Structure formats: C-alpha cells, structure tokens
Amino acid sequence: MRLQGETSEKQVLPMTPGTSVTVTRGEPQPQVIDVLVLDDSRFDAMFIQRECRRTELPVRVSIAPDMAKFREMLSKRPYHLVFIDYLLPDGDGLAAREMMKDGSQNESAPVVMISGEARHDVAVEAMKGGCIDYKAKSDLTPDALRQLILRALEVGAQVNKANLQEALDAQRQDIVSAMRDVIRQELGISGQKGESGQIREVLQSYGMIAEDGDTDWEEIFRNPATNFVFRTH
C-alpha cells in the first residue's frame, strides 16, 4: 500500500443525504474537496486522512512526507485546504507556508498549522503567518475537521470573489481608458475641422456623461480620474 503522496479514487466519498458542503450562498458545490497534508509521520498523516473520511464530506486527501514532495504536489493542482505539520526534519511549518506563496495555484489556499501537542507560541506564529487556524493533532476529530473544511471552503469562496472583482475592475478601467483615448483623438480632429459641436451632440446622445453630470468634454477627457455612466436608449 502506498502511503506517501498517495491519491486514489477510494479517497473520494460520495455525498450522503442531508449533507451540504455549501457555506456561501450562490457558490457552486465542489464535487471533490482536495486536502493536502504535509507531515513526515506516516502514522499521523494516515490518522488525518482517516478522520477526514469520517466527516461525510467528499474529501480527497493527498499526503506529502517532506518539503520536496510538498512543493511538487502544490504545482499539480489547487487545494481547498492544506494541513502543515509545524515540526519537520527539513524545515518548519512556517517555511512551508511561505513556499506556498511561490506558486500561483495555491498561494491563497487556506492553511491549518498542526503539531503533536498544543503550543501557544506556535499558534501565535501560525496566525501571524496567515494560517486560518492552529490545532494539536489530538484535536483533529471528524467534527473538528468538518468545521475546518467548511471554513476553508468559505475562505476560498471569498478569495475567489475578491479576485474576480479585481479582474473586472481592471478590465473596466482598461475599457474606459481606451475609450477616453479614442474620443480625445476624435475631439481633436473634429476641432480642427470645426465639427466639435456635432461630436459632442453625438456623444451625449449615446448617454456618455460624467457621474456629476458635467458636459465639458475637453475637461472630462483631460482628467484621467474621470468615470463614466453608460445608459441605453
């Protein structure tokens, strides 16, 4: 039986009646919840894998026994939740957390720092390092794991929503900037031909107005901070 870095279809559990993964209204339910465990102890890693199966969620647990395997597995797929053992023979959990920021797939993946025994200093460092929680391994019961997984899904949904909004805002700014350049150029050409008044009338007829209602187009397009409201007729 393969234990290290093992991922198999047997690790995927079907949804049971009455079980819901959704924690943010309107977000799609993942068919499989991918969880990655970084732990050099086979016994501890298999314990977490087994307890995750008992959460009655469709969890697929992958195991990385060392930092090198951890880096490799981070590059293969995005994970909904990552458990990182604080004490590792080739580094520590904080270094592993920083390693996640090197890749694009899991730089924002929720992380739970774990250790063999509860330590206040580790908890403080973990939270400062951006982890969503810190747990002693003995506290990782099915109920606790279920709550952590659902919480990680919620955090992931919020991050995805923020990233999408940022991309939409950037796209909108690009469109407005391109339109501003084109219209400024047209106004310059029309001014030389004595047709600027006609151009202004056309622009206004299409509902392109500044948010404050100003219609001084030369001033509007000279100001790079100008925003527009577009209306349809």
Please state, in angstroms and rounded to a whole number, the distance separating the CA atoms of residues 137 and 188: 70
2 in Cβ contact with 46 (< 8 Å): no
In this prediction, residue 208 has a pLDDT band, given cuts at 50, 70 and 90, of low
pLDDT in tens, 136-173: 999 999 999 999 999 999 987 876 676 667 666 777 77
Report the first-to-last Cα separation within the chain, whole angstroms. 68
Please give the pLDDT value at position 118.
83
**Does the domain spanning 9-16+23-164 belong to CATH 3.40.390.10?**
no
* Amino acid in position 202: V
Is the separation of the CB atoms in 111 and 89 below 8 Å? Answer: no
Give dist(CA 100, CA 171) in Å, integer: 28
| pLDDT, mean over the chain | 76
> What is the pLDDT at residue 193?
56
Asked if residues 42 and 2 have their Cβ atoms less than 8 Å apart, the reply is: no
Judged against a pLDDT cut of 80, whether residue 67 lies above it is answered with yes
Q: What's the residue count for the chain?
A: 233
DSSP 54-70: TTTS-EEEEEE-SHHHH
As a whole number, mean pLDDT of residues 218-226 equals: 59
pLDDT at 23: 44
pLDDT bucket at 54, cuts 50 / 70 / 90: very high
Output Rg (C-alpha) for the chain, integer angstroms.
Answer: 26
Query: Strands 133-136 and 111-115, how do they pair?
Result: parallel
Domain boundaries, given as residue ranges, for the chain: 9-16+23-164, 165-229
Residue 107 is classified by DSSP as T
Q: 161 — phi, psi (to 5°)?
A: -65, -45
Place of tokens 């350049």: 181
Query: In terms of pTM, does the model score above 0.75?
Result: no
Helical segments of 79-206, H only: 93-100, 120-128, 142-193, 196-205
